[in-house]
Amino acid sequence: MTTEPQHEVSRAEKLRRIEELGIDPWGGRFDRHQAIAEVLEQPIASEESQQPRARIAGRIKLRRIMGNVHFLHLWDHTGEMQVMIGKKQVGELGWALARHLDLGDLIGAEGRFGKTKTGEPTIFADSLTMLAKSLEPHPDKHKGLVDVERRQRLRYLDLIYNPETLKRAKQRVLLIRTIRQYLDSRGFMEVETPTLHAIAGGAAARPFITHHNALDLPLYLRIALELHLKRLLVGGIEKVYEIGRVFRNEGISRKHNPEFTMMELYQAYGDYQTMMDLTEALIVACVDALAGTRKLTYSGREIDFSPPWQRASYTELFRRYVGVDMRDVSAVRQRAETSRLPLAVKDATTGQMITKEHDVLVHELFEHHVEEHLQGPIFVYDYPAALCPLTKRKRGHPDIAERFELYIQGMELANAYTELNDPVTQEQTFRRQLAGLSEEESMAKMDDDFIRALRYGMPPAGGLGIGIDRLCMLLTDAASIGDVILFPLLRPEKKD
């Protein structure tokens, strides 16, 4: 430790001088201030005597010092505007304070709202209030904060200096509000279910493990909302939904954060076709609320959300892009070989090689060859049954499950089933582990408590899950999930 950084020294020194003036550098209650956008909306009278007074609070983003007059740009979350501080106008104490301000400080300003000679809307301050000192230097006034890592770690600075970050945060709120309004107005009831689960079911993903001390009980953070919402269907809540955080202990990427937000809903006496119509209408409502046009650009490509969206069966797409019939066992195996997909995997516990099951290969081929073509929006429906232990089988087709996924720009955005409500079949599919998948990787996890609920009678129903973060990415043209989550998971910084 040699010398303290010059900026810290300088700001700490100014803090001390402000205190010496008898001013609290950390401010306090500041009533009756207006949003900057609100002030700027007012017409500006040319007669000084007719000009209204304005009172704002905000952060100093720019400062131009011209001897006995300072021009500041004050920023709040609604906008930015100029404040003029004249030596004569603010008085001796105000002027002393003005001289010790820095970029990044928070102040209140009050005075006449008018225009300067050059026509800039300006508050001509006659009163200044110190609200908080910034002891750290702020980013460059032109370039702002660019470094991706710092933008995520110091998200508060990102919000101040990159307008699109604040804009996305506001759009995300609007998106979720739109979903709530849409569902509430159609009789859906919003609920909150536990995040701590004794069995992490409802999806195929590795869970985070935790422990309850008083009960000496291992617990898991939920990986899906599904199984509790279905219990509520049993309980007679016929239209139910939850918007909540789920946790998956897996890799982090442009499209994956370990905790993310899901919306799941269930509608008694519906099926996956009901859900397809609902999904389309719900997402179009969100597009309308956020964009005002149904043709959006995502990473340079246009997505047209105008309904009706394409619908294609899994079988048909498989045939078209993989080139073989998905029911043809030997053809699928051969195609997997030519695609250089491993036909067997090592079992995690026994270490033995296990040959992959037909449906596992089918789905790997689908992901490998079909997904990239799904620019969408497109509903892919009727999945191989073995992949869907919670889904009702198609009548007369025991190998097909009534499931669809919505793809947009190659991303899986929504997933829906005709829900399996037969407890006997449910118990069987929970017991049956697909060869080539570990229990963790499998959706089939025995949950006796859930089976018991089904045994009391769950209405036939359609169910739907939408990845809110990914939807938000698409509607705000965000390249990375970290752009729509205010605090994405990062490795903690090392000390020193």
For residues 96-125, which are near RNA according to CB under 7 A? 102-103, 116-120, 122, 124
Q: 368 or 455: whose CB is closer to RNA?
A: 368
Question: How would you classify residue 115: left for phi > 0, otherwise alpha for psi between -120 and 50, otherwise beta?
Answer: beta
Compute the least distance from the CB of residue 489 to RNA, in Å. 9
CB of 204 to RNA, least distance (A): 3
Nearer to RNA, 156 or 214 (CB): 156
Q: Which two tokens stand for residue 239?
A: 């239209």
Residue found under tokens 């899906």: 224
Exposure letters 235-271 (e unless 16+ CB within 10 A, then b): eebbbbbbbbebbbeeeeeebebebbbbbbbbbbebb
Give me the amino acid identity at 146: V
Q: Give the residue with the Cβ less far from RNA, 76 or 483.
A: 483
What binding mask, one character per residue, do residues 320-339 give for RNA by CB under 7 A, x or -?
--------------------
Which range touches RNA (CB under 7 A), out of 22-30, 266-274, 289-297, 488-496?
A: 488-496
Considering only the stretches 39-47, 231-239, 245-253, 326-334, report the one whose residues sit in contact with RNA under the rule CB under 7 A: 245-253
Cβ distance to RNA smaller for residue 171 or 391: 391
3-state secondary structure of 345: strand
Nearest to 194 by CA among 241, 230, 228: 228
> What is the C-alpha radius of gyration for the chain, rounded to an integer number of angstroms?
29
Q: Is 295 in the site for RNA (CB under 7 A)?
A: no
Shortest distance, CB of residue 217 to RNA, whole angstroms? 25
Q: Which residues between 409 and 428 bind RNA (CB under 7 A)?
A: 412, 415, 417
Contact 305, 284 (CB under 8 A): yes
Structure tokens at 212: 């309850």
Q: Which of residues 436-465 bind RNA (CB under 7 A)?
A: 441, 443, 465
Interacting stretch for RNA, rule CB under 7 A, among 25-33, 315-323, 424-432, 487-495?
487-495
**Considering only residues 388, 434, 461, 473, which one is a binding residue for RNA as defined by CB under 7 A?**
388
The token pair at 302 is 């246009």
How far is residue 79's CA from residue 94's CA, in Å, rounded to a whole number? 24
Burial of 204 from C-beta contacts in 10 A (0-12 / 13-18 / 19+): buried
Total residues contacting RNA (rule CB under 7 A)? 76
Nearer to RNA, 108 or 482 (CB): 482
- CA gap 67, 159 in Å, rounded: 32
Query: By rule CB under 7 A, what string of x and - marks binding of each residue 67-86 to RNA?
Result: xxx-x-x--------x-x-x
CA triplet 466, 467, 472: central angle to 5 degrees? 115
- Residue placing its CB nearer to RNA in the complex, 49 or 118: 118
Q: Which residue is it, tokens 């049956």?
A: 432
Q: How many CA atoms are closer than 13 Å to the CA of 90, on its beta-carbon side? A: 25
What secondary structure, in 3-state letters, does 265-320 show?
Answer: EEEECCCHHHHHHHHHHHHHHHHHHHCCCCEEEECCEEEECCCCCEEEEHHHHHHH
Can you tell me the distance from the alpha carbon of 211 to that of 219, in angstroms, rounded to the nearest whole number?
A: 5
- Smallest gap from Cβ 389 to RNA, in A, equals 8
Q: Which two tokens stand for residue 121?
A: 């809307």
Q: What's the CA gap between 76 and 12, in Å, rounded?
A: 24
Q: Considering only the stretches 61-69, 188-196, 277-285, 373-381, report the one whose residues sit in contact with RNA under the rule CB under 7 A.
A: 61-69
The interface with RNA within residues 125-154 (CB under 7 A) comprises 137, 139-150, 152
Q: Which is nearer to RNA, 181 or 299 (CB)?
A: 299
Measured CA to CA in angstroms, residue 108 lies from 59, 215, 326 at distances of 9, 52, 68
Min dist. Cβ of residue 435 to RNA (A): 13
**CB proximity list for 404: less than 8 A, separation 6 or greater:** 272, 275, 276, 379, 380, 381, 382, 383, 415, 416
Residue placing its CB nearer to RNA in the complex, 76 or 469: 469
Q: Which is nearer to RNA, 66 or 214 (CB)?
A: 66
Binding mask 193-212 for RNA (x = CB under 7 A): ----------xxx-------
- Region binding RNA by CB under 7 A among candidate stretches 63-71, 187-195, 310-318, 330-338: 63-71
How many CA within 13 A on the CB side of residue 444? 19
Q: What is the nearest approach in angstroms of RNA to the Cβ of residue 194?
A: 20
- Which residues have C-beta within 8 Å of that of residue 278, sequence separation ≥ 6? 265, 267, 462, 464
Does 265 help bind RNA (rule: CB under 7 A)? no
Provide the minimum distance between the beta carbon of 111 and RNA in the complex, in angstroms, as a whole number.
11
| Residue type (1 letter), 50 | Q
Q: What's the rounded Cα separation, in Å, for the pair 15 and 11?
A: 6
- 346-385 residues in contact with RNA (CB under 7 A) are 364, 367-368
In the complex, the smallest distance separating the C-beta of residue 214 from RNA, rounded to whole angstroms, is: 32
Query: What kind and span of H or E run contains 65?
Result: strand 53-66
Least Å distance, CB 232 to RNA, is 18
- Residue closer to RNA by CB (options 10, 181) is 10
Whichever of 60 and 296 has its CB closer to RNA, that residue is 60
29, 211, 491, 495: which one binds RNA (CB under 7 A): 491
Q: What is the closest distance, in whole angstroms, from the C-beta atom of residue 235 to RNA in the complex? A: 22
Residue 250 interacting with RNA (CB under 7 A): yes
